[in-house]
Every structure is written in structure tokens, then in C-alpha cells.
Structure 1
């Protein structure tokens, strides 16, 4: 329980809404690497993050992350399991599909012709550090609850169901995810389903209850 509470509080400390604005995803990522708090954790596994020059790498020592695939299909080392990437909590596919530019030519076209898309893609309030393998596995899957056990990535508590195209994040990451969706709705008019809205409302309420209980200890 103590480890859970500390992990939860760490996420509240490390990830908060920022007024910084960017118009290029690459610029936003450089800013985030430069300003990353020393106590930051990867969003889906809660791993410590180390800087190696201009790159970020996960430290699996305490979080227990084990790659689902140590090698690619071609036999090469799975490099994405060894690096931190910046995950769009609301996937670019999800908010991009709600813009005409995506219908006319996908992400590449949106970057070229839509100032709104560029701003959404570079909004650091929708970005979180994630282990590259899990960022890839998440793809543009929706968030949800799954019945299976979390065994795909060692002791990392995230679950991905590739058949259902659903990802279930660990408890301590859910408020950040729900808050990011709420922010994107308010700021850019993002539309989400009633089912997703109910899920995110529940996650925010659960996080509030956990905070309240922690204060009573």
C-alpha cells in the first residue's frame, strides 16, 4: 500500500498542466526532455527515467519492467524497449480524425495545412513519457478495463488486449489520462463517446478518493 501511495503521489507531482505552448511536436519533445523532473516516472510502468545525453531511457530496476519482445521479428534488439518516447495520451489518430485535414491526407497533411493540428500534436499537456515498446503496443487503442492479469511486461501493471484494441493503464496513471482527455475536450473541442466519458469520470473520482484516504493516514 505504501508503494502504491508513493507512486500515486509521484505522478501528481511530476505531471501538471502547463501554460507552455508549442507549434511543433519536435520542439515540444526537446522542451520536455530538458525540463523533465528528476522524480519523473514512465506513465504505464512507473519506471525511473535516466538521461543519456539528449535521450531518455527507462530504468527497470525498481519497476520490474520486462520487454514483451526483446528482439524484433527481423532478429534485431528491440530498441524501443530501451528508450523513453513521448506518448500522446489522446492519440494523434483520435484527435486528428476529427479534423478535415486528416480526411484529406492523414497526419502528414494535417501537419502541413492545419495550425490547430500542429498545436494539438505539440501540446505538452497531452504528452507523457512512456517506454517505447508500450507506446508502440498502445498504438491508437482506446482506454478501458480488461479481465486478464497484467503479465505481458514483467511486473509492469499495464495491460494491452490486441484483439479488442484496448489498453488498461495501472491505477496510478488513470487520473492523468482522464485529466488529459478533459483538457483536450475543453481546449480543442475533442469529442469522445459517452462510454469513455463515464470511464474517465470514474477514474477521476477514484483518484480523489485515494487522495482523501491518503491524507487520513
Structure 2
């Protein structure tokens, strides 16, 4: 299990090494798809990712992902459960609300008038491949720890509490999430609550401890 975690951490780290800047979210996504590592995994389930033309799809064979909703309310196949999307670890809603442009037209207005917002939205250090259904379920929920045991997505270990608007990621994804928040704080002056800061600090310490323990084996 420890080896599996370390492999995933190495894969996730490969997405944040590039220093290239992009002027739009769409151009950033094109770059990430084109340069996707062969061993890339989805952030919340650790599923293998396959390319189908210009699109990415999750392979649930080994990760055990099962859609929470296989069909939509209209009875159609839930297409987002069968595609990979680029998740903003720090949601656009969260960093956008800290800019004046959001108060006068939301995301659309910020894209139009704010260079800083466009840079933040397109920063690949805050983007990770996620199964579309889970990206949708996460919405702009905050990260946290949940007491309940759930199997919302088969063997995928992510938990979402829709009432509390909280998402608990699996252990192997927590350092990447904490690092993304730290990066956005340092680079763009993102403000987060003291409670969130304590959580992310704890996740970074836990990841360090896991890495240290693995070296002793």
C-alpha cells in the first residue's frame, strides 16, 4: 500500500513541475492533455487514464470506480462518469470570490476583465485530472475529514457529504491538495481560514511521515 501511495504522489507531482504560463483555461487543458504522462492517475480515485483522440477517459479496471449515478435524471447515460476533466483543486469559485471582478458578473466577468483571474484559472499547478462525475459532485465544496463510512463510488475512497458541503479525499491525494493551496497562497495571495490551514498542514506532515516510514522498510 505504501509503495502504491508513493507511486501516485510521484505521478501527481509531474503535473506541477512545469513553469509554463497560460493565458486561458482552455489552452492549459490542451497542454495537459497533450503532455499527459503514461502513468497518470485520476486524483480522487487513482484510476488509470486513457486517451481517446483528444479526450481522456478513466479506466476503472484496477481502481474499482463505480459511478454514483450511472444515469442522469432524464434517464440518459451519465457521460461525466466516463470522462476525465481538469479539476481546480482550489476552486475557481474560491479564488474568484476574492477578486472584485467576481462581484460584478462572476466567473464570466472575471475571465473578461481580470488578467489575474485568467492566470489563476489557467495555472496548471492547481489543476488535476479527475473523473467528471466526482468533479461535478465536489463542486466548490471545502476539503475536510468526514466521520461516516461510505461507498459512494465503488472502491474509490473519496467521500462527499452534500449536506455539509465537504469532500474528504483519499490519503494519497492529500499532499497534492495541500501543496496546491500553499502554492496559490504564495503565488496569488489566496486567503484561507485558520481551520483549513491547520488541516493542510496536518496532511503535509502525514505525507512526510509516510515517506519517512517507507524508507525504513
Superimposed CA distance per residue, residues 158-183 of structure 1 (whole angstroms, 9 cap, x where no aligned partner): 00000000000000000000000000
Residue 195 of structure 1 and its aligned partner are, at CA, apart by: 0.1
Query: Equivalents in 1 of 2:183, 2:203: separation in Å?
Result: 15
Whether the aligned pair in 2 keeps the contact of 1:47 and 1:63 (CA below 8 Å) is yes
Q: Give aligned pairs, total.
A: 215
Runs of 4+ residues over 3 Å off in structure 1: none
Aligned to 1:7: 5
Query: Equivalents in 2 of 1:65, 1:99: separation in Å?
Result: 36
**TM alignment of 1:14-93, pairs within 5 A:** 14-15=12-13, 16-93=16-93
**Are positions 1:136 and 2:136 aligned together?**
yes
Query: Equivalents in 2 of 1:68, 1:102: separation in Å?
Result: 32
Superimposed CA distance per residue, residues 75-108 of structure 1 (whole angstroms, 9 cap, x where no aligned partner): 1100000000000000000000000000111000
Residue 14 of structure 1 and its aligned partner are, at CA, apart by: 3.7
Residue 5 of structure 1 and its aligned partner are, at CA, apart by: 2.6
**Are positions 1:145 and 2:150 aligned together?**
no
Aligned alpha-carbon RMSD (Å)? 0.9
Q: Secondary structure at the match of 1:58?
A: strand
Whether the aligned pair in 2 keeps the contact of 1:111 and 1:117 (CA below 8 Å) is yes
Query: Equivalents in 1 of 2:37, 2:140: separation in Å?
Result: 27
Q: Secondary structure at the match of 2:128?
A: strand
- Structure 2 gaps of 5+ residues are none
Query: Equivalents in 2 of 1:48, 1:159: separation in Å?
Result: 20
Aligned to 1:205: 205
Aligned to 1:101: 101
The two structures have a TM-score, normalised by structure 1, of: 0.97
Aligned to 2:172: 172
Query: Equivalents in 1 of 2:195, 2:153: separation in Å?
Result: 27
Query: Equivalents in 2 of 1:5, 1:149: separation in Å?
Result: 24
Whether the aligned pair in 2 keeps the contact of 1:14 and 1:39 (CA below 8 Å) is no
Residue 150 of structure 1 and its aligned partner are, at CA, apart by: 3.2
The two structures have a TM-score, normalised by structure 2, of: 0.97
Residue 10 of structure 1 and its aligned partner are, at CA, apart by: 2.4
